[in-house]
Amino acid sequence: MLKNKENLLPLKDKLTVYVPKRYYPEQEDWFGNKIPDKMEYPIHLDIVKQFYHVTDDPEQADFALVCIKGPDSGGGYHKRDREEGGSGYIPISLQYRPYEATIVRPRSIAGDTREVLDRSYKGKKVFTNNESDLDLVLETKEKMKDKPVMVLFIYQTQLLYLNLNLMSKVYLYILEFRIKLY
């Protein structure tokens, strides 16, 4: 747990929770096959229902549980950048909104065993594949008004909590890709 403002946790049994659906953008698997985008619940509601009443109406909920992943801007290398004459190296963003690497080394101190001697990504801009996760937290906070919003981070990468700090009373960090709440 990273944050428990106003000692919100532990919650009482059988409160009513609003769990918004999460947007999963189109992706490409390891073999280059397209995985279509989708909107679905990020956790199994049957498990949540063992402890809380679940509603689709934020006005009827006592609290919200928003499940998101850390910012995903890729692995720091992009083949297209290399094909277009760049080094191929791009920044890895720790925030959800677009990031441009402006305050970085103009020339890298690490080389590469390939043809690239300078891995600097100064001036390059990246976008996260899941910027919609931040939007989901902001929209949920707006819908819940003064009621508590808990954010459950599914560990994927590090992130800067600055964009989310005022939106949530509780942050939980999960270190697994498959979630099962007990």
CATH number for 41 = 3.40.50
In-domain check, residue 150: yes
| Tens of pLDDT, residue by residue, the chain (182 residues) | 566 777 777 888 789 999 999 999 988 777 778 999 999 999 889 989 988 999 999 999 999 999 988 888 888 888 888 889 888 889 988 889 999 999 988 888 776 666 777 888 999 999 999 999 999 999 999 999 999 998 888 765 555 555 555 555 555 544 444 444 43
145 DSSP 8-state letter: T
Is residue 177 classed as helix, strand or coil in its secondary structure?
A: coil
**Which residues pair with residue 99 across a beta bridge?**
126
Q: Same structural domain for residues 158 and 170?
A: yes
Q: Same structural domain for residues 32 and 66?
A: yes
Reported as type and span, the H/E element at residue 69 is strand 63-69
Q: Same structural domain for residues 14 and 68?
A: yes
Q: Same structural domain for residues 122 and 138?
A: no
Q: Same structural domain for residues 9 and 64?
A: yes
Q: Count of domains in the chain?
A: 2
* φ/ψ of residue 46, rounded to 5: -60, -35
Given this model, what pLDDT does residue 177 score?
41
Whether the pTM exceeds 0.85: the reply is: no
**Which residues pair with residue 67 across a beta bridge?**
152
Q: Same structural domain for residues 55 and 45?
A: yes
Q: Same structural domain for residues 53 and 8?
A: yes
Among the listed residues 113, 104, 132, 127, the one whose alpha carbon sits nearest the alpha carbon of residue 38: 132
Given this model, what pLDDT does residue 82 score?
85
Q: Same structural domain for residues 105 and 93?
A: yes
In-domain check, residue 23: yes
Q: Same structural domain for residues 9 and 57?
A: yes
Residue appearing with tokens 């990468």: 157
Given this model, what pLDDT does residue 169 score?
58
Domain coverage including residue 92: 73-127
Q: Same structural domain for residues 109 and 135?
A: no
Given this model, what pLDDT does residue 179 score?
44
On the 0-12 / 13-18 / 19+ scale of CB atoms within 10 A, 104 is middle
Q: Same structural domain for residues 7 and 48?
A: yes
